[in-house]
């Protein structure tokens, strides 16, 4: 039995998402640590805040990092085994870096808050966007993006997330997105819908944010990962810290290659994939990518305890 951990990113947040972990003291302690570092009461926000507050990128990114780290610490406190591989979806890659002891929790919190600010500032409100396209082959979506980008209007459209077979998120200029939605429908897409996000993540419009992150990462201490991480941008592990910094910059302007990541797990002999954090978004995607991989979600304290028992190596 060989298992990997995956960490969710933006889109998995919800008010009350930590309710199922309240009997594990390490969870609330981790939230308190994050609140002390960033001077914001994340525990109150996640329990009593509004969905609008949670969905603000500047809140969502440190909040989801904290949630993932809290659940991973709970796993360790219950003497869960060490995963063979790690990966995180977009923002979740930073949680994976903390789990691998590459990045300290303190530095990760400051870094993701900076990342959120840089992403918000990169594209003015209303200029960019993202849309989900369901039921089309990747190649058709790539062609649609290429054709719209090359119309000569100075607007770009790119695949941003290859989430599962038949589910691709596109990002770019808002008008290009709307045109892409119509073209996708005309090509037979089952659904093509605008997402409630103003930031066009994982595309070339994030180039200003990538430049800012490159400068910021120069001041951050990284360590060689104690557990290999498959990174979003190239689906490879990087043992060297310089290469990790480079790939984190690249991540902002490159698509999240999630389908390839899960298939790489299977090729590496992984039998179980564990979603470490609230919700079951990644488990749902992973099932559609490879039905032979067993999916576990640490979505409350009971499922953590069950997974520790199920994956205990004797």
Residues labelled as active-site residues: 90, 202
| Euclidean distance between CA atoms 71 and 57, whole angstroms | 21
3-state secondary structure 11-50: CCCCCCCCHHHCCCHHHHHHHHHHHHHHCCCHHHHHHHCC
**Residue whose C-alpha is closest to residue 113's, from 45, 64, 43, 52:** 64
Biggest alpha carbon distance in the chain? 62
Question: What H or E segment, with its residue span, contains residue 135?
Answer: none
Cβ 257 vs Cβ 232: under 8 Å: yes
Q: Beta strands 167-173 and 157-164: pairing type?
A: antiparallel
| Euclidean distance between CA atoms 129 and 299, whole angstroms | 29
Q: Which two tokens stand for residue 254?
A: 């490159």
| Euclidean distance between CA atoms 229 and 105, whole angstroms | 17
Distances (CA, A) of 72 to 46, 105, 128, 143, 299: 18, 12, 34, 40, 11
| Euclidean distance between CA atoms 148 and 258, whole angstroms | 24
Q: Which two tokens stand for residue 255?
A: 């698509």
Cβ 150 vs Cβ 196: under 8 Å: no
């Amino acid at each position: 039995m060989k298992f990997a951990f995956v960490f969710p990113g933006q889109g998995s947040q919800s008010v009350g998402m930590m309710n199922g972990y309240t009997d594990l003291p390490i969870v609330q302690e981790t939230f308190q640590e994050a609140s002390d570092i960033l001077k914001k009461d994340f525990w109150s926000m996640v329990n009593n805040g509004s969905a609008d507050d949670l969905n603000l990128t500047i809140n969502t990114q440190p909040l989801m990092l904290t949630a993932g780290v809290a659940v991973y610490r709970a796993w360790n406190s219950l003497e869960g085994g060490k995963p063979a591989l790690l990966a995180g979806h977009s923002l979740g890659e930073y949680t994976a870096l903390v789990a691998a002891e590459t990045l300290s929790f303190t530095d990760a919190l400051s870094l993701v808050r900076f990342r959120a600010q840089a992403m918000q500032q990169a594209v003015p409100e209303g200029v960019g966007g993202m849309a989900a396209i369901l039921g089309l082959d990747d190649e058709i979506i790539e062609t649609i993006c290429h054709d719209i980008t090359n119309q000569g209007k100075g607007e770009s459209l790119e695949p941003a997330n290859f989430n599962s077979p038949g589910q691709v998120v596109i990002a770019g200029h808002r008008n290009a997105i709307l045109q892409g939605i119509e073209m996708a429908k005309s090509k037979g897409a089952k659904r093509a819908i605008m997402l409630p996000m103003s930031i066009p993540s994982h595309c070339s419009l994030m180039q200003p944010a990538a430049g800012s992150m490159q400068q910021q990462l120069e001041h951050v201490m990284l360590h060689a990962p104690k557990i290999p991480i498959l990174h979003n941008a190239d689906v490879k592990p990087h043992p060297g810290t310089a290469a990790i910094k480079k790939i984190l910059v690249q991540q902002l302007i490159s698509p999240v290659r999630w389908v390839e990541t899960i298939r790489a797990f299977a090729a590496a002999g992984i039998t179980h994939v564990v979603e470490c954090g609230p919700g079951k978004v990644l488990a749902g995607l992973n099932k559609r990518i490879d039905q032979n991989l067993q999916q576990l979600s640490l979505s409350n304290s009971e499922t953590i305890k069950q997974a520790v028992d199920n994956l205990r190596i004797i």
